[in-house]
Structure 1
Amino acid sequence: MAQNKTLASRLREVLLDGHWIANTNYKEQLLKTSWQQATQKVGNLNTIAALTYHINYYLAGLLNAFESGKLEISDKFSFNLPPIHSEAEWNQLLTDFLNNSEKFADTVEQMQDDIFDQPFIDEKYGTFLRNIEGVIEHSYYHLGQVSLIRKMIMECNN
């Protein structure tokens, strides 16, 4: 399988429809999470909504970088989730996240394989491949947190 197809498949696995690595994915976890659960604090952990915003921040920022050639995101803003006070606001975050997930995987799938070894925006950021694999790894890391926080919330509410 071509590298672009393999990477797109791995992105869809963690974000949209896979079960192979984590036996779940973001879409599955988030669609069964109410806005109250998404915003519920568990100790000093991030909320599910904050983690969703965080991953979406990077997806949107990298999509913009793919299109513009400029990296305009910063780690210090990646958890700046506006307050969520309703189901409509949670659903908007979910819609944005799922749309960006699909667009990100589709964009990677359309890339020519020779781009993956090229520098991403600036050589200090590594290659396109390193950055896309970083999205996959970062997403699995936080998917584990989402799953555990969701289980803790379900336990507390029973």
Structure 2
Amino acid sequence: MTRNITIASRLREVLLNGHWIANTNYKEQIQNINWEQATQKVANLNTIAALTYHINYYLEGLLNAFKNGKLEISDKYSFDLPPIIAEADWNKLVADFLNNSEKFANKVELMDDSYFDQPFIDEKYGTFLRNIEGVIEHSYYHLGQISLIKKMQTKN
């Protein structure tokens, strides 16, 4: 299996359909809750909606960077979740997240193997491979938080 297929599979596993590492994935975790659960605060933790927005922010930003060669996102805006005050707001975020997840995995799947070793936008950011693997690791980190928050919500 080539790197592009392997890496795209790993992205789909954490974002859309896998169970190997975490025994769950984002799609499974966010599709079966309503907007009130998604926005419910548990202690001083981020909400599920905020974490979903956060990962989607990076997926969308990197997709744009792949397209235009410019990195136009900033960590300081990655939690700037627009208000979610109704089910339609949450459903839109979930749909955007799932759409961007599939687009991102598809884009990686179509990459030529040599592309992964090239500098990502600017050499200071490392290679495409390093950044895509960073998305996978970052996604698993926050997926664990979402899973724990959901468990904490059911205990309250």
TM-score scaled by length of structure 1: 0.98
Aligned to 1:113: 113
Amino acid at match of 1:48: I
Q: Residue deviations 1:62-112, cap 9 Å, x none? A: 000000000000000000001100000000000000000000000000000
CA distance in 2, matches of 1:129, 1:33: 33
Aligned to 1:71: 71
Written as runs of structure 1 = structure 2, the 5 A alignment for 1:48-127 is: 48-127=48-127
CA distance in 1, matches of 2:76, 2:124: 18
CA distance in 1, matches of 2:125, 2:52: 24
Measured on the aligned residues, the alpha-carbon RMSD in Å equals: 0.4
CA distance in 2, matches of 1:32, 1:149: 14
Aligned to 1:5: 5
How big is the shift at 1:114?
Answer: 0.2
Hey, which bits of structure 1, 4+ residues long, moved more than 6 A?
Answer: none
Structure 1 runs not aligned, ≥5 long: none
The percentage of aligned residue pairs carrying the same residue is 78
How big is the shift at 1:38?
Answer: 0.2
Q: Residue deviations 1:109-155, cap 9 Å, x none? A: 00000000000000000000000000000000000000000111112
For this pair of structures, how many residues does the alignment match?
Answer: 156
Written as runs of structure 1 = structure 2, the 5 A alignment for 1:22-61 is: 22-61=22-61
CA distance in 2, matches of 1:18, 1:34: 22
Instruction: Find out whether 1:16 has 2:39 as its counterpart.
Output: no
How big is the shift at 1:43?
Answer: 0.6
CA distance in 2, matches of 1:94, 1:15: 12
3-state SS of 1:116 partner = helix
CA distance in 1, matches of 2:3, 2:109: 9
Amino acid at match of 1:45: L
CA distance in 2, matches of 1:59, 1:154: 29
CA distance in 1, matches of 2:134, 2:106: 17
Q: Residue deviations 1:15-41, cap 9 Å, x none? A: 000000000000000011111000000
Amino acid at match of 1:57: Y
Instruction: Find out whether 1:138 has 2:143 as its counterpart.
Output: no
CA distance in 2, matches of 1:85, 1:74: 25
